[in-house]
Amino acid sequence: MTKTIDVQVNAQSIAAFKKGYPLILKDAVVNPEVLKEEGTLIRLTDKYRKFIAKGYYGNQNKGIGWVLTRDDNEEIDFAFFESKISAALSRRESFFEDSETTAFRAFNGEGDGIGGLTIDYFDGYYMVSWYSEGIYAMKHHVYGVLDKLVDYKAIYEKKRFDTKGQYIEQDDFVKGEPGDFPIIVKENGMNFAVDLNDGAMTGIFLDQRDVRKALRDKYSDGKHVLNTFSYTGAFSVAAVLGGARETTSVDLAKRSLPKTIEQFSVNGIDYEAQNIKVMDVFDYFRYAKRHELKFDVVVLDPPSFARSKKYTFSTAKDYPALIMDAIAITEKNGIIIASTNNASFSMKKFKSFIDQGFADANSRYKILEESSLPKDFRTNRDFPEFNYLKVVILQKLK
């Protein structure tokens, strides 16, 4: 049995834990010196040693672990993991039965009851992401549960917990029959090439599924679409399949060119009829202004933080300026899809960035729709900070 130790938490944190808050913040712990080895099970207690909750020790961003149960008698063992993962798979039954979408989030961390762990499904392949050494110490339970509950072609893993919380390079194959990558998965009928053993990224961000569908179904027909921070061009694929007359995809990473060509090709799209630019997005904004280029739709989906030779970008402080750049090259009555995956601020704050960008540009807009994580990315509605994705689709009026 895994070792369990008592950890005292301060009075301010106790109320949050009792309401169901799952993240154990560093500042909540009164006696951090007792925390020695990640993966240790911990009983959270008040100063009178009265039980509050039970979880595990594992460093992840601002937290030092996650609450797993508020029942002192519930064991954190194979049966615990089986119950949580089984319940999560049952919640995704409609996804497993949908032949038009064969890639989705099968288990979403704290939303499904185990913080620090996600499991994605890719047409028979499972990809397990571990966000701390603490949860990785319990990998035998997770892989044992998958062996028991599901049929799979293979399991791959991503260890996302080096000293900076980043992906650790390794052969990510765990068990099963190694995949012949890329494999082709479907998303709302669109094809996407995926490689589960090519570093931190797979080729598609599953959390943007609903936004790609909206772009395809509502905002692309006959339009010229600019896709910034385009990664592998998934938004551009959606736009072309929605009837866009032209797309321009811009990303600084050199691999974005072959990856975007690949995504167009697996959908039968002539990539040579589309524009793919390997350059800094901010340089492209300047280029577009200089050449008086205008777009009907601009997609903004930047990373939370990015650094190139000339620029440093942070969504928390630079998004208003990014909005201004987009406004300058968007047609009147054009569409801007503004998105961020930064969990450190709220939707209200994100909208204030949009307001500021339009005010600074002396422009006006109206919101057409807004969204957050799709339903397979299950979150706790009482704690909106875990619903990190914020998307506002707006129309430029002036």
Per DSSP, what are the bridge partners of residue 96? none
Q: Which residues contact 69 (CB under 8 A, 6 or more apart)?
A: 53, 54, 55, 76, 80
Q: In which band, very low, low, confident or very high, does the pLDDT at 163 lie, cut at 50, 70 and 90?
A: low
Indicate the DSSP class of residue 223.
Answer: -
Burial class (CB in 10 A: 0-12, 13-18, 19+), 332: exposed
In tens, the pLDDT along 224-266 reads: 999 999 999 999 999 999 999 999 999 999 999 999 999 999 9
**What pLDDT sits at residue 2?**
63
**Amino acid at site 372:** S
CA-CA distances (angstroms) from residue 216 to 13, 209, 220, 239?
Answer: 44, 11, 6, 5
Per DSSP, what are the bridge partners of residue 335? 297, 395
Per DSSP, what are the bridge partners of residue 367? 394
Instruction: Report whether pLDDT(398) > 90.
Output: no
Alpha-carbon span 172 to 201, nearest angstrom: 12
DSSP string, 131-144: -SHHHHTTHHHHHH
- Among 280, 289, 259, which Cα is nearest to 271's? 259
Alpha-carbon span 298 to 78, nearest angstrom: 47
Q: Report the Cα 244 to chain-centroid distance in Å.
A: 26
Q: Report the Cα 319 to chain-centroid distance in Å.
A: 18
In tens, the pLDDT along 112-152 reads: 999 999 999 999 999 999 999 999 999 999 999 999 999 99
Instruction: Report whether pLDDT(314) > 60.
Output: yes
Q: In which band, very low, low, confident or very high, does the pLDDT at 313 lie, cut at 50, 70 and 90?
A: confident
- Among 177, 63, 172, 40, which Cα is nearest to 115's? 63
In tens, the pLDDT along 85-119 reads: 999 999 999 999 999 999 999 999 999 999 999 99
Asked if 293 and 330 count as a contact pair (C-beta separation under 8 A), the reply is: no
- Among 275, 302, 297, which Cα is nearest to 287's? 275
Instruction: Report whether pLDDT(61) > 70.
Output: yes
Report the length, in residues, of the chain.
398
Strands 173-176 and 224-228: unpaired
Percent helix, strand and coil across the chain, each rounded to 5?
30, 30, 35
**φ, ψ (nearest 5 deg) of residue 263:** -65, -40
| pTM of the shown model | 0.96
- Vertex 386 angle, CA 383 and 389, to 5°: 125
**What pLDDT sits at residue 225?**
98
- Among 367, 377, 92, 351, which Cα is nearest to 209's? 377
Identify whether 374 is preceded by a cis peptide bond (ω within 30 of 0).
no
Among the residue ranges 33-47, 98-112, 160-174, 224-238, the one predicted with the least confidence is 160-174
Alpha-carbon span 345 to 167, nearest angstrom: 24
Token pair for 203: 């080729």
Instruction: Report whether pLDDT(1) > 80.
Output: no
Per DSSP, what are the bridge partners of residue 7? 44
Q: Helix count (H) and strand count (E) of the chain? A: 11, 21
In tens, the pLDDT along 332-385 reads: 999 999 999 999 999 999 999 999 999 999 999 999 999 999 999 999 887 888
CA-CA distances (angstroms) from residue 287 to 280, 294, 361?
Answer: 11, 11, 18
Asked if 43 and 72 count as a contact pair (C-beta separation under 8 A), the reply is: yes
Instruction: Report whether pLDDT(20) > 80.
Output: yes
**Amino acid at site 225:** V
**φ, ψ (nearest 5 deg) of residue 130:** -110, 125
Instruction: Taking residues 169-189, report their average pLDDT.
Output: 96
Alpha-carbon span 67 to 20, nearest angstrom: 9
Burial class (CB in 10 A: 0-12, 13-18, 19+), 345: middle
Calculate the average pLDDT of the chain. 95
Instruction: Report whether pLDDT(170) > 80.
Output: yes
Per DSSP, what are the bridge partners of residue 312? 307
Instruction: Report whether pLDDT(162) > 80.
Output: no
